[in-house]
Amino acid sequence: MASQKSCCICFAAMLVTAGLTVGIYFAVEAFKAIKSTGFAEKKYGDALKVAMQFFDVQKSGKLANNKIKWRGDSGLKDGNDANIDLSQGMYDAGDAVKFGFPMAFTATVLSWSILERGSRMNANGMDLLKQAQDSLKWITDFLVNSYPSKNTLYVQVGNADKDHKCWQRPESITDKKPLSQVNTTSPGSDVAAETAAALAAASMVFKKSDSIYSAKLLKYAKELFAFADKYKGTYSTSVPQAQTYYNSTGYGDELLWASSWLYCATKGKNYLQYVTGQTATDYANWGNPSWFSWDNKLAGTQVLLSRVLFFGEEDDSDGQLQMYKQTAETVMCGLLPNSPTATDSRTESGLIWVSEWNALQHSVASAFLATLYGDYMETSDNKELKCEGKTFKPQDLRDFAKQQADYVLGDNPNSMSYVVGYGSKFPKYVHHRGASIPADAKTGCKDGFKWLESTQPNPNEATGALVGGPFLNETYVDARNNSLQGEPTTYNSALLVGLLSSLATSSQSVDKSFP
């Protein structure tokens, strides 16, 4: 029988051993967690590198340093009839039309992503900031040229009805493309204000690198906003052809959105008064959550103006800004799956799902806003979000965003990535003219349809394209003529880039002020 002393020594040894074992266990678990997080960040970073390439796929104009082998110069004479250069810009989707309204939205979102996540785009050896800035400038150069004089803005290049009766590469089109404009007698407050928002946001992106260009963008943004506010009307009324493709449901949201961005770019009290005055009473729709999209900017405006309050930029004695922030909170509470007010607009697997056409737009847009709002909370040390008595943290918003991103990247019932070129399984029959026709094929308007009807996968990969996505029952039909699910859009990519650039590092903070 062991002595009491030896038993104490044994017990002490057991404690040391147990302590080491527990310590090793927790160290291993911590390492696993770090490693897992690192793998997750690498996944999002890898996906970001892929997603960024779709902007190059969609470029019109003279393609210097062309990175997409199957793309070539196109639209070189666009704008000639009006003695302006509209050769640049980007095609909105799988066709060869340049729609100014969604293109400007693409530029605004891409600018916002760069302003908030620019440093993250260069983290972990990604070196993507310059690429994002170049893609943005390709659009803003077009937007600048589309505004040749005060109160005149060209908003569309090409006849969409005619274009959709053809199936040919943009490089093969030789017909003249008609131009559509808004002006004082045919107003377009929505498209003019969205263009103003894009140029104001982009002016901050280029403020340090090219101050002259930045000043030009801001000057045009101010003028376009004044035009949009003075001559009110929806552009799709003035340009009826647009109703079939990008019909605007109103312009009040764009006016508030543009004024918010102009405030951020100038700190002008007049722009802040605009979003808190009569225009807000008319159009802000406080207390009612909405979906952020190319057509409705209210949720984006609410999150952007929440930023002003989070970082104490302005006194809100009249409580108007607080109304925006409270509505943004309502939006966030609706997105969180465990919230008492969680929206039912989601699939069984948890994907935000609002409409059959281009379903993933709302998923990535919602997740994009959630990362921003969560980062604002984290940076301002405002760590609690109340949803009818239940408390959530910034990490909850980030977890929601990750769940949406993971679904898009392959964690879904189809085990399919909806981003072309990412993962081992992704759509091969994307509804995209250029991708579906061999680069050396000589086709006209009608004979190109044999490529639409071909049963073979696309000969060219539309790398980075985010397709429309699954139906509510989470099925996806990978067929080239299934434009409902299989057509990618440039503005989807802007939202995706914003989302992925947030998740590609562990950082959950932002700079408290824009440049």
Question: Which residues are the active-site residues?
Answer: 95, 431, 478, 487
Cα 72 from Cα 2, distance rounded (Å): 87
Separation CA 377–CA 391 (nearest Å): 13
Q: Hey, CA dihedral for 226, 227, 231, 234, is it positive or negative? A: negative
Q: Report the alpha-carbon distance of residue 419 to residue 500 in Å, rounded.
A: 12
Would you tell me how many other CB atoms lie within 10 Å of the CB of residue 183? 17
How far apart are the C-alpha atoms of 297 and 348, rounded to whole Å? 27
Distance CA 336, CA 325 (A): 17
Distance CA 501, CA 368 (A): 10
Residue ranges of E strands in 68-149: 98-99
What would you report as the CA-atom Rg of the chain, rounded to the nearest whole angstrom?
A: 25
444: Cα separation from own chain's centroid: 34
Cα 510 to Cα 342: distance, rounded to the nearest angstrom: 27
Distance separating alpha carbons of residues 449 and 461, to the nearest angstrom:
18
Query: How many residues are present in the chain?
Result: 515
